A and B are shown apart, each in its own frame.
Chain A
Amino acid sequence: MSRYIRNRLIAAVPVFFGITLLIFLMLQTASGTIVDLRGEGAGAGAAERAALEAYLGLDAPLPVRYLRWLGGVLRGDLGTSYASGKPVRTMIAQRALPSLLLTGTGVLLSVAAALPLGVLAAWKPRSGWDRAASAVALVSFSVPGFFLSLAGIFVFSVTLGWLPAHGMYSGGGFSGLGDLLRHLLLPAGVVCAGGLGGLVKQTRAACLEVLGEDYIRTARAKGLGDRAVMVRHVLRGAGIPVLTTVLSHIPHIIGGSVVVERVFGWPGMGSLLFSAISSRDYPVVMGVAVVIALSVLGTNLLLDLAYALADPRVRCVEAEP
């Protein structure tokens, strides 16, 4: 087991650099630089463009630029944003917590709703619970986030006036937990709805799978009570796939949700990534990518460990690469 973890950690290094190189190269293929945005106005003259590109370091050859960036990262410096002129590290630090708060709340809400619903739906197939689970999944799969966001804003902010339509606080800054929660409710609800369907379906499928196992049948035949079977065997057996689904949301939690953050003007990483892409602010895009890469690698390691721990049969079979 410990050898496996060690191998994983060692492999994470080339994987991490592979990811950054890949994203760096992909960004270079995109047409336009931040200087081209000047076309909205009078445009940039050749001299002006050259000066700006030199200042931003865009005139250096590709490998030099990547190595420069990589050198910075190794020293803990993610570079400086082209647009805002601020250190990327500072910008990400400002955005990480709000993203965590919004998406984290959303995912927690959907876990809290999906687990009981999924288990009940599996326990009593074709019952009202099962139908409710299907209906929830249907809405979650077929209604896009932007639509849910705007419909939510229309109903709860514009028509009823209960919840604020945008932002994280009213006024200039943090002014109480209640205010923050009111701002959080609508966007977190949309994030929750987005993840709910998959989670309900996964939970239901996993529980059904376990319920079909012989040992459960045996347990039930032996007269073990429904509740006892459920708690002792089914939930434990269904744990892996459900855990997979929940954990697979973690990078998403850290990376933020682009659509929801944008529509609600939430100051998270998703909206940061979006505006950085539109303004070709590559240091910021790379910075966000690094954070997402680290969280994906970390999560997947956790995920595999969870597999191993939850299922003893898996534990002993993982070999070295």
Chain B
Amino acid sequence: MSGRGAWARFCRDRRAVVSLGILAAEVLLAALLPVLLGLEPNASDLSAGFWAPPTSEHWLGTDDVGRDLLSRLICGGQISLLVGFGAAGLSVAVGVPLGLLAGYRRGAWGFWIMRLADVVQTIPSIVLILCLVALTGPSIVNIILVLGLLGWTGIARLVYGNTLAVREREYILAVQALGGSPAMVLRRNVLPNVVSPVWAVLAQRVGRAILSESSLSFLGVGLRTPQASWGGLLHYASSLSVLTGRPWVWAPPGACIVTTVLCLQFVGDGLRDAFDPRGSGRAAK
């Protein structure tokens, strides 16, 4: 179950490898293209007009204030990917350790960690947003914080439940009896067993975070205008005439989000299978 073995197993999953490649390409393109092409996503081209349809100059047309939609799509990718991975990563980074700790230590630890999760789960997100807007104003960091900190409870609960079940298994008890330190047991024996459902959640979380970002902007915690994001571009579709008459505005960011989520799903499945010590993913073959 070494890292090398897992990597080798992951590489055998062609779909996962291709997906990982696509994700890497997305990140690279979003990071490099704006610099290489000298894109100006925030500059209005008043000669092209507002809501111009695609032309040779503006491949995806222009938006409501005459900005080039292709530039905004590419530059929006940077922010959306950052928010998506950042928020999902934060949820996992907080949720998995807390869930593990709660499930492994049980007792007072488990009890109060889960009560903390209760409290966080209860705060309506728009209340938290309203509060953060007032305290710090809009920024990417804020979005990641809001989405990440609201999202960890579900993951913690999932990991907690699994840990409770796993820690009573005979082999864990055996390792403990042989004198394995708690940290080592957790990392080497419990963690691999409880994270597989987390992989399944990860793709979902990234997708959701990318989408949620755009719906946060109405209360002001969204991106600072005029920054672009995929979610924000997709939001233009809330007008009937854009939805039905200008598919070139919302279809490309929509396709980007779908691709990202799809690839993440495959990579998640691949990772799960690769790290799963008992190879349950292939059990029924």
Nearest residue, chain A, Cβ from B126:
A277
Q: Find out whether the CB atom of A201 lies under 8 angstroms from the CB atom of B200.
A: yes
B67 within 8 A of A: no
For B260, what are the chain A residues with a Cβ–Cβ distance below 8 Å?
142
Q: Is residue B181 contacting chain A, with contact meaning CB distance below 8 A?
A: no
Question: Contact between A317 and B164 (Cβ–Cβ < 8 Å)?
Answer: yes
- A297 an interface residue at 8 Å Cβ cutoff? yes
A97 at the interface (CB under 8 A from B): no
Residues of A with C-beta under 8 A to B147: none
- Is A138 a contact partner of B258 (Cβ separation < 8 A)? yes
Partner among A197, A244, A273, A319 whose Cβ is within 8 Å of the Cβ of B126: A273
Q: Per-residue 0/1 for A296-321: is the Cβ within 8 Å of any B Cβ (1 yes, 0 no)?
A: 11001001100100010110011111
B262 near A138 with CB under 8 A, answer yes
Contact A150 B243 (CB under 8 A): yes
A77 at the interface (CB under 8 A from B): no
Complex CA distance for A212 and B280, rounded to whole angstroms: 4
Encode contact with A along B109-147: 1 for CB under 8 Å, 0 otherwise. Answer: 001101101110111101110110111000000000000
Judging by beta carbons under 8 Å apart, are A146 and B215 in contact?
yes
Q: Which of A15-23, A54-62, A85-93 contacts B (4 or more CB under 8 A)?
A: A15-23
Q: Which of A37-45, A168-176, A180-188, A202-210 contacts B (4 or more CB under 8 A)?
A: A202-210
Instruction: Tell me if A156 counts as interface (CB < 8 A to partner B).
Output: no
Looking at the assembled complex, report how far the CB atom of B36 sits from the nearest CB atom of chain A, in whole angstroms: 28
Range of interface residues on chain B?
35 or more
Report the Cα distance A297→B252, complex, angstroms. 42
* CB < 8 Å neighbour of A141 from B118, B126, B207, B250: B207
- Asked if B283 is at the interface (CB within 8 A of a chain A CB), the reply is yes
Interchain CB contact under 8 A, A197 and B123: no
B284 within 8 A of A: yes
A300 touches B197 (CB 8 A): no
Give Cα A137 to B197, complex, Å. 14
The listed residue (B106, B133, B165, B207) touching A142 by CB distance below 8 A is B207
Taking Cβ atoms with an 8 Å cutoff, the residues of B that contact A are 106-108, 111-112, 114-115, 117-119, 121-124, 126-128, 130-131, 133-135, 154, 157-158, 161-162, 164-165, 168, 196-197, 200-201, 203-204, 207-208, 211, 214-215, 219, 231, 234-235, 237-238, 240, 243-244, 250, 254, 257-258, 260-262, 265, 272, 276, 278-285
